[in-house]
Chain A
Amino acid sequence: MRVMAQMAMVMNLDKCIGCHTCTVTCKQVWTNRVGTEYVYFNNVETKPGIGYPKRYEDQEQWRGGWTLDRKGRLQLKSGSRLRRLLSIFYNPDLPSIDDYGEPWTYNYQHVIEAPLGTPNPSAHSISALTGKDVTVGWGSNWEDDLAGAPERAHLDPNLRDLQERVRMEFEQVFMFYLPRICEHCLNPSCVASCPSGAMYKRAEDGIVLVDQDKCRGWRFCVSGCPYKKVYFNHRTGKAEKCTLCFPRIEAGQPTICAETCVGRLRYLGLILYDADRVLAAAATRDVKDLYEAQLSVFLDPEDPEVQAEAARQGIPADWIEGARRSPTYALAVKHRVALPLHPEYRTLPMVWYIPPLSPVADVVHAAGYDPADPDAVFAAIDAMRIPMEYLANLFTAGDTGVIRRVLRTLAVMRALMRADQLGLPFDDGVISELGTSRTDLMDLYRLLAIAKYDERYVIPAAHAEDAGRLASQHEQLFCSLDGEGGPGMGGLGPHGIRAFRPARRPDEVAESETFRDTDGRLRVNLLAWKGNRDVPLFPSPSNEE
């Protein structure tokens, strides 16, 4: 057993109002640079819709993620390593900028400088790539609130098995929002696709990052990621991706998207898992078993054996404690209401989603029933084949049974709380049918409805055993050039910290350990005083002239 910790996120889709605040704040923090205009580490999609980039979920087209070869061994969907090396001069699976949408800005100057009398001067849209006028035709949120859905939504890969029925029952149209960030997978296909070895998974918290100095711009991570959450910076020629705001996570703070989420729908917390079992789980033969297989990789942080093993393998005590309090573990494993996005890609993603009950509840409400009545909701869940199958294609590789269980749990929780607060009678039979208990449902309610900041984000800060090294690094900034052996002194400037430390001999006298005050008295310069006995901190009167 190799215990590793993973910072995981859960999003409660029922609460997402599609306001794009996460997208905007993420953009402001990470990708408001030239070269990354089209890059959204976080974006919010309206589902059904083809997504961003176009139809990214169709792996028969883009060939991202993993698949099994004939012998049942795990293999990248894009083929062998040799195939990638041979196609390095042209990556056949790479989306073009038109699939993302050509980035544009507006010629605002034209509005300002328009001569008097010009009727309604307008700002032209100009391409951020070429500076020429451009007709905008696609972008990251082009499909907001089902915009253009009649023409395009039927191309959504998640509708592939139910296309006919969607068209027929279009009056029952449903929609919900899907905020997406990098999944920070346990079995990241982008890392496996990178020929340079520049991408890596951090051993401490599982965050997947790109080493900007090692990246050579071969672009296979972009096509290798089935979620298309690695982007190519067209200015620097390097790959960039969601960092899970690691500088904030290291400091114990939630990511920017979570921090600024208006609906407070995001949860962050550690999940302990057994790294030795990842490969076997990812190679599970039936895609519908991948959800359970991934759950089996997770370790129970309450298990004393797991705790002991984690401690033995160097996971700090406060991190184990954090894993015990983790809201993501509770939602994914304990209550089993959070589900992975597209487990069939076999990457074992670690940003999970609580599927939305709202499409179902809306229909119940529209039909004149009480959306809190579990009987009506259950009937609707069973009757509403389209959203059920659609959600199953998103979260369980097509297994509607899991979706039904999760939605029933959410419906029963709502009904129970309503009965509780209004003093209505409640039949506990539906609870036991779901294999849960009143206590668990109350617990889930608390977590979903009233959990405060420090319950939604349980993020143990990174361990600063490196603090000493950080300090010495700061020191070297004082004179990186003319340290002994440094480049400024004609040396090669080895990378060691010591080489950059300012030279100071032990016998060297600081410029002024003492100084004359305005009244003529000898004072000690506290900033420079080194405890030198010849210059006492409190000069005796005899020292004064």
Chain B
Amino acid sequence: MSNATSSQILLWVGLPYLALGIFVVGHIWRWRYDQFGWTSRSTQLQERRLLKWGSPIFHYGTFAAIMGHVIGILIPERWTAAIGIPEHVYRWFSATAGTVAAVLILAGVVVLAGRRLFIARVRSTTDAVDYFALVLLLLIILTGIIPTVFVNLLGGGYDYRLTVAPWFRGLFSGNPDVTTIASAPIVYQVHAAASWVIWAVWPFTRLVHAWSYPLWYLWRPYIVYRSRKTAPPIEPGTAGRRWRRIGAGY
């Protein structure tokens, strides 16, 4: 820590905590004040042929990538070593599984981004914040795929579990090791920084739909009854996102 420059601390300690703060507070705000805007805003109605392939491939690929990050970043290397998994075996597994996920995500995002940009019906539903999130997402995906495929699968390999992972876990134990992340290759640094930025913008985009995956649907009764009741009071700050004026632009 003592060797870290102030700009490094700003980038690798300040940014993560700021992003986490915005993430938490932003979600509380959005949940309380904009339930009406809380949706994936699906465009399946407008276009279904491309979505049929792009959306499931992208989403299931993302699930695989999330699992990979949990294994690779949250679980320390000494744990896997303790149960007898040597580094080269882990790297082989992570590079292979990661490449599969990378191919799925890349194929999915190419289809999805393509239809969003080139299908007029879909493009007209796209806000500025959607473009912002999309660019961030593309940046994160590309900087995630490059080291997975070209460094760990085809190249000599890089043990990010000794540099990136300890720093990440340190953020949550209150003792982030800035020097390790600062010494990581630039592609990992861009990937990590961009990821923190997307956490910060997450509550303000349609990405919030990720938290609404309705697992409890599996258990709830089929028919829902509710008693008539008066509407809850309108809270300050919610009025602008209600029904929009007829003819208003996007």
Contact = CB atoms under 8 A, between A and B. Distances in A.
B227 A216 contact: no
Interface string A110-149: 0000000000000000010111100000000000000000
Contacts of A477: 233-234
Nearest to B213: A88
Interface string A83-120: 01101111110101100000000000000000000000
Contacts of A250: 228
Nearest to A466: B230
Interface stretch (B171-179, B184-192, B240-248): B240-248
A214 interface: yes
Contact of B48 (A94, A217, A236): A94
B17 interface: no
A488 B237 CA distance: 11
Contacts of B47: 96
Interface in B224-239: 224-237
Interface in B196-250: 206, 209, 212-218, 220, 222-237, 243-244, 246-248, 250
Given A32-B246, A217-B41, A476-B233, A234 B125 contact: yes
**Interface size class of chain A, counting residues whose CB lies under 8 Å from the partner chain:** 35 or more
Interface stretch (A192-200, A293-301, A404-412): A192-200
A366 interface: no
Nearest to B226: A200
B121 A129 contact: yes
A195 B48 contact: no
Contacts of A89: 55-56, 58-60
Interface in B44-60: 44-48, 51-52, 55-56, 58-60
Contact of A130 (B37, B120, B237): B120
B222 A191 contact: yes
A476 B247 CA distance: 32
Nearest to A470: B230
Interface residues of B, number: 58
Interface string A71-93: 00000000001101101111110
Interface in A467-490: 469-470, 473, 476-477, 480-481, 487-488
A200 B225 contact: yes
A197 B220 contact: yes
Contact of A487 (B225, B231, B236): B236
B223 A217 contact: no
A216 B41 CA distance: 8
B56 to A, nearest CB: 5
B90 interface: no
Interface string A386-416: 0000000000000000000000000000000
A97 B49 CA distance: 12
Nearest to A202: B228
B117 to A, nearest CB: 14
Given A131-B124, A476-B233, A191 B224 contact: yes
Given A90-B51, A237-B40, 20 more contacts: A33-B246, A81-B217, A89-B55, A90-B55, A94-B48, A97-B121, A129-B46, A129-B121, A197-B220, A200-B225, A203-B225, A203-B226, A213-B35, A217-B41, A219-B42, A234-B125, A237-B39, A462-B228, A466-B228, A480-B233
23 contacts: A32-B246, A85-B215, A88-B213, A89-B59, A89-B60, A92-B52, A131-B124, A200-B226, A201-B223, A201-B226, A216-B38, A219-B44, A219-B45, A237-B206, A238-B36, A238-B39, A462-B228, A473-B231, A473-B233, A476-B233, A481-B236, A497-B233, A500-B233
